[in-house]
Amino acid sequence: MIAEHDANPVHQARRDTFVALILDGGPIPPLIALGTRHYLVDGYARLRAARRLGVPTVDVIVQLTHPASTTVSAQHTRSS
């Protein structure tokens, strides 16, 4: 699935837009991950752009869900 995503011209264009934004000194909006395993659900193009440019860290919002409820909490972390 990742290879298909990376080969898709639409996703490549989104990545390249973020590459240009980073090179211009613009902020990288935080990535969104779910659960304790930090499953990335939003920000794949931003992550690929950051990796391509060697950006050492990016902001990640991790949404943790609790099995006994539908309560969702947010935690800010830094991840590469």
Q: What is the pLDDT of residues 33-73, one digit of tens each?
A: 998 888 899 999 999 999 999 999 999 999 987 655 544 44
Q: What is the pLDDT of residues 65-79, one digit of tens each?
A: 765 554 444 555 554
pTM: 0.72
Residue written as token pair 């991950």? 33
**pLDDT for res 36:** 87
CB-hemisphere CA count at 13 Å for 48? 17
Domain range summary for the chain, segments of one domain joined by + = 2-79
Determine the straight-line distance between the first and last CA of the chain, rounded to whole angstroms. Answer: 21
Does residue 19 surpass a pLDDT of 80? yes
